[in-house]
Structure 1
Amino acid sequence: MTAPDLTRRHLGRGLFAHPLGVNCGASGLSQGTESETDDGRFLDGLGRAVELGANLLDTADSYGAGRAERMLGRLLRGYPNNGLLVSSKVGRIRGSAPHAYAGRHIHHQFQQTQESLYVEELDLYVPQDRYLGTAIDQMQTLRELGAIRAIGMRGPYTHYGAAPEERTACAQRFLYLFCLIKPNVVWTRFTASRPPSSSKARACSTSQPGTGPA
């Protein structure tokens, strides 16, 4: 068996990531029932992953209503200046706004994310796929201001048993959004035990982003 290639991947814009990233969503699952013991175990697990080389940590403001970001912020304070990359997402928490992308709501959520993570900038920031006109403008502004280093986007994903028509529709939707967002980085879900999707679709003409772990 060939040993896995653990060389760091160049995602673009000076971002280099270990091929396996860490999703921090589990830290938000126990909202309302969390304890210091739970917090300690989660932070120990994250710390162990970092020590083994993982440097891309993915979270979202919606994970545990912000708890995941706060937990990750505790970890980051213990690992200053060590090349960790942080990715977060916006588009599921609307608060009192009419929708999650209304007016300056994204900017407000971004500021809260910065405070929770205890960072001045994010390496990747990922919008969801509704009300994209406003969202794209704000993402690009944040990137131009240096508040985020790259705009990310998830690759197309369907469950293993999806029908060919569902896979095709998912791929077409992805390409439509890709052409609108023009992300710097695209990453996809991958499970080694599952065969790759055979769906094919024509890509639009745009700049080539990097690809990263889920």
Structure 2
Amino acid sequence: MQQRQFGNTGRSVSEIGFGAWAIGGSWGDVSDKDAEAALHAALDAGVNFLDTADVYGDGRSERLIARVLKQRGRDGIMVATKAGRKINPHVSAGYTPQVLEQYIDDSLRNLEVDALDLVQLHCPPTDVFYRPEIFEALDKLVTKGKLKAYGVSVEKVEEAIKALEFPISSVQIIFNMFRQRPAEHFFARARAQHVAIIARVPLASGLLTGKLSASSQFAAEDHRNFNRHGEAFDVGETFSGVPYETGLKAVDALRNVIGDVPMAQMALRWILMFDAITVAIPGAKNPTQAASNAAAAHLPALTDAQMSAVADIYTQYIKPHVHQRW
């Protein structure tokens, strides 16, 4: 698999990574056996970037990754985790150097390492980006040897741009066929500062697999059920904030563009058409999904006609719902 430079860290990572939210929780039941098999399949396919968070299953996702890497070895593997979402209520005042260090210590134990490859503030309130002391605290944790690098995960393009004022290594942001605004306003800035971009929610919570329908059912513990309207967290995390029925109409229009290639693979390959992207992080709940996601990196580039058609579908169906919101 092709690799891309990970910002200013001196490391390179696979173009397709592994998003480990699904194996932690909030995506329906996933057994430890299936979760570990999915991780093994991704690593076997050349994936070397794993993205997790301390709140994914209250540490379960981190512990599963540690278990698999203990079996395989950690050489060449970059594990990114996140901190901050445990703060309750999740407000700016809850972000303190002491609280963040406590969460980072928890992740060190869960991942069974002495230093974390990358810690990302986990979609903090916008006000946090106006508090330089929080980023200074992360610098101190790098100096103490608990972190190798740090970055942010954001909800909004404006937060991503503001974050570039600090010495971050990466920004994780929702970017997919249904969330295209980052390419207009953020990518060039990040690239100029050698900041890695991690494309999250690359398949729009499954919409861009082409396998969902109006009759699809989701488990009670699946966020695609309980957060459909933003009841639990930002609605942009679920189906990229696109109304479900509207998303299905856009997916039907995309079928005429992608040809015989699985839609999920084409959606991932579309993301890789943007040079500013460092890595896309689709999730997987079993080894078949993980291997299929990784295979997207080997597809030929989309044609100019296909890129134009995707842009037209976005403008017609999706843009009015999401473009100015995030």
Where on the TM-score scale, by shorter chain, does this alignment land: which range?
Answer: 0.7 to 0.9
In the alignment, which residue of structure 1 is the partner of 2:194? 208
- For the residues of structure 1 that align with 2:180 and 2:96, how far apart are their CA atoms? 37
Residue pair 2:160, 2:171 contacting (<8 A) in 1 also: no
Query: Given the superposition, is the C-alpha separation of residues 172 and 195 from structure 1 closer, same or farther in structure 2, using an over 3 Å criterion?
Result: closer
TM-score (norm 1): 0.75
Residue 59 of structure 1: CA displacement?
Answer: 0.4
Superposition RMSD in Å:
3.1
Query: Given the superposition, is the C-alpha separation of residues 74 and 178 from structure 1 closer, same or farther in structure 2, using an over 3 Å criterion?
Result: same
What is the DSSP-based 3-state SS (H/G/I as helix, E as strand, rest coil) of the residue aligned with 1:83?
coil
Gaps of at least 5 residues in structure 2 are 198-277, 281-326
Matched length: 190
In the alignment, which residue of structure 2 is the partner of 1:186? 171
Query: Given the superposition, is the C-alpha separation of residues 52 and 183 from structure 1 closer, same or farther in structure 2, using an over 3 Å criterion?
Result: same
Which of the pair has more CA radius of gyration? 2
Residue 105 of structure 1: CA displacement?
Answer: 1.2
Higher relative contact order (CA 8 A, sep 6+): 2
- For the residues of structure 1 that align with 2:47 and 2:111, how far apart are their CA atoms? 18
Query: Given the superposition, is the C-alpha separation of residues 103 and 133 from structure 1 closer, same or farther in structure 2, using an over 3 Å criterion?
Result: same
Moved >6 Å (runs of 4+): 95-98
Residue 96 of structure 1: CA displacement?
Answer: 10
Percent pairwise identity: 22
- For the residues of structure 1 that align with 2:53 and 2:47, how far apart are their CA atoms? 18
- For the residues of structure 2 that align with 1:154 and 1:140, how far apart are their CA atoms? 17
In the alignment, which residue of structure 2 is the partner of 1:125? 119
In the alignment, which residue of structure 1 is the partner of 2:99? 105
In the alignment, which residue of structure 2 is the partner of 1:164? none
In the alignment, which residue of structure 2 is the partner of 1:9? 4
Letter in 1 for 2:169: N
In the alignment, which residue of structure 1 is the partner of 2:322? none
Residue 207 of structure 1: CA displacement?
Answer: 4.0
In the alignment, which residue of structure 1 is the partner of 2:146? 147
Deviates more, 1:135-144 or 1:123-132: 123-132
Match 2:70 to one of 77, 99, 103: 77
Residue 111 of structure 1: CA displacement?
Answer: 0.8
**1:58 partnered with 2:35:** no
Residue pair 2:63, 2:110 contacting (<8 A) in 1 also: yes
Residue deviations 1:52-92 (CA, integer Å, cap 9, x gap): 10010000011111111111111121122421100001111
- For the residues of structure 2 that align with 1:63 and 1:96, how far apart are their CA atoms? 18
Deviates more, 1:44-53 or 1:98-107: 98-107
